[in-house]
Amino acid sequence: MKGYILKDMTWPEIEEALKTAKVAVVPIGAQEQHGRHLAEGCDSYRAEAFCALLAEKSYPHVVVAPTVNYGISPHHMDFPGTISLRPETLMAILEDVVSSLKQHGMKKFLFVNGHGANSSAIAVASEKLAREYDVEVAHTKFVDAAKGVIQEHIHSEHFGHACEREISESLYMAPHIVRKDLVEKSDMNTDTFAYKYMNNDFVKVVHQFKDTTHNGNLGDGRQGSFELGEKIIQTALDNLSTFIEDFAR
């Protein structure tokens, strides 16, 4: 078995894996609109696929827990199909995952996030769980491990959601979720207060996503490609697998 994925394993297989696996990796995504050209499970698909690649690259030192397929998405609720968790719900789920896996001997956890709005709750949960459960916890929004590639190749003023970056990552890891014939540039809602401050460095305005984009996406998805997705994901994998080598010791 090249990569330990808990949901695909039997308990005797897991028992054997835990003899070498030191880090439990938890993918976290969302169920929310991604414009007209990406399936609403985009963040979950990407997080899960990335963690499967990470499990293979870091074998036999990690096990990957089942994906948390819901996230914090109230700002997307104007679009049909979005399902949002409360921050405290996501934190409670992560606590239950850590509590359960600790009973099986896991003492190190890496939360791998595919949805930016989850980040604050994951950070708070990580602090709480590390201290209350006497475990080691790290967390990452996995594309942050490829910032250099993103800065070099993406030039849209606003990007980060159903944009050329997410389309590229999806083309590389989950091409079936991309509606290639519907890919379009964002239709920004430039007349709103939220738009005026959406990229501000010193203040964040709570808003609905429709206050910034009419069609639900940012950037220019037409600029996305399999090749760019490969560069982003492989760079992130290299950096995070190096981290796991240190973390697993």
Taking the chain (249 residues) in runs of 10, the rounded mean pLDDT of each run is 92 97 98 98 98 98 98 98 98 98 98 98 98 98 98 96 98 98 98 94 95 98 98 98 97
Residue 23's H or E segment, with its range, is strand 23-28
Q: Residue 226's pLDDT is what?
A: 98
Distances (CA, A) of 152 to 49, 146, 147: 24, 10, 9
Nearest to 43 by CA among 51, 32, 59: 32
Q: Report the b/e string of 70-97 with b at 16+ CB within 10 A.
A: bbbbbbbbebeebebbebeebbebbeeb
Whole-number pLDDT of residue 174: 98
What pLDDT is stored for residue 239 in this prediction?
A: 98
Number of domains in the chain: 1
81: left (phi over 0), alpha (psi -120 to 50) or beta: left
Whether omega before 60 lies within 30 degrees of 0, making that bond cis, reads: yes
pLDDT of residue 199: 87
Domain of 93 in residue numbering reads as 4-247
d(CA 167, CA 153): 13
Q: Who contacts 130 (Cβ-Cβ below 8 Å, separation ≥6)? A: 136, 137
User: What pLDDT shows up at residue 2?
Assistant: 86
Q: What is the crossing angle of helices 42-57 and 164-173, to 10°?
A: 50
User: Which pLDDT belongs to residue 1?
Assistant: 58
Q: In this predicted structure, what is the pLDDT of residue 138?
A: 98
| Per-residue pLDDT, 193 | 96
- For the four alpha carbons of 65, 66, 72 and 76, in that order, the dihedral sign comes to positive
Contact 59, 87 (CB under 8 A): no
CATH of residue 57's domain is 3.40.50.10310
Predicted model pTM: 0.97
Sequence letter at residue 94 = L
